[in-house]
Structure 1
Amino acid sequence: MARTMEQFIANLSDEMQASIAKETQRLVAEEMTLRELQRIRAMSQRKVGEVLHVNQAMVSQIEQSTDIYLNTLRSYIEALGGELNIVVQFPDRAPMNIHQFSDLEKVHSLDDEG
């Protein structure tokens, strides 16, 4: 009879279970959506909109978008108090930061994306 993953993990040592839990949290943290970032920063969509000078509906639209301008993404992250970094990873090299976009002029306004 096959065991579930939970049953398998339950039979591991406490140390191994803690290690698995920590790695699980790390992996989940790497895969957050913009909405989840906004929630963990404890900022309402209205407050983010105030910082970005857009309405709450536009913030919601940004959070649901799967295709977003870099300037919009950077502005959103900065509104939450963060900094956007773009990292490229190749299998045969260490991760590299791309700095080409760090000084972009604001070419498109947030309202142009709607």
Structure 2
Amino acid sequence: MAWDVGIMAGKKFSVLREKMTPEAQARGQEKFEQLRSEMDLAELRRARLLSQESLAQLLQVSQGSVAKMEKRTDMYISTVRRFIEAMGGELIVTARFPDHAIHITQFADMGKTKD
């Protein structure tokens, strides 16, 4: 469906949502949840309100290194884990099968020292 930008300009989304059918509202909410739960590393960094420079400082690398990491499609799990933890998150690796999902635990403590 094409949206007429002139119609939407200046209107609150809550007003537009009230005019939608319940089915359209449900589809919109489903799409919102999908988009919110699927981000690449650059989108995630921006959503966490971090610049490449500030994340680079947390990771103790250059801003250029962060830019390169965000573009890579193949990374060590330890690198992804450091990236996520620097943003305040926790990396959880899960394998999904048709009948169930399994949390892979061997990566949970990777890189952490035991006292």
TM-score range, shorter chain: 0.7 to 0.9
The 4+ residue runs of structure 1 with deviation greater than 2 A are none
Aligned-pair identity in percent equals 37
Answering whether residue 75 of structure 2 is matched by residue 77 of structure 1, we say: no
Answering whether residue 56 of structure 2 is matched by residue 65 of structure 1, we say: no
CA distance, structure 1, for counterparts of residue 27 and residue 111 of structure 2: 43
Structure having greater relative contact order (Cα 8 Å, sep ≥ 6):
1
- Superposed counterparts of 1:1-114, under 5 Å: 6=1, 14-93=21-100, 95-105=101-111
| RMSD of equivalent CA atoms | 1.8
The unaligned stretches of length 5 or more in structure 1 are 1-5, 8-12, 107-114
CA distance, structure 2, for counterparts of residue 87 and residue 25 of structure 1: 22
TM, length-normalised to structure 2 = 0.77
The aligned amino acid for 2:49 is A
- The size of the alignment, in residue pairs, is 96
The aligned amino acid for 1:45 is Q
Equivalent position SS for 2:106:
coil
The unaligned stretches of length 5 or more in structure 2 are 3-19
CA distance, structure 2, for counterparts of residue 97 and residue 30 of structure 1: 18
CA distance, structure 2, for counterparts of residue 92 and residue 35 of structure 1: 32
CA distance, structure 2, for counterparts of residue 105 and residue 80 of structure 1: 17
Equivalent position SS for 2:103:
strand
Cα displacement (A) at 1:14: 1.9
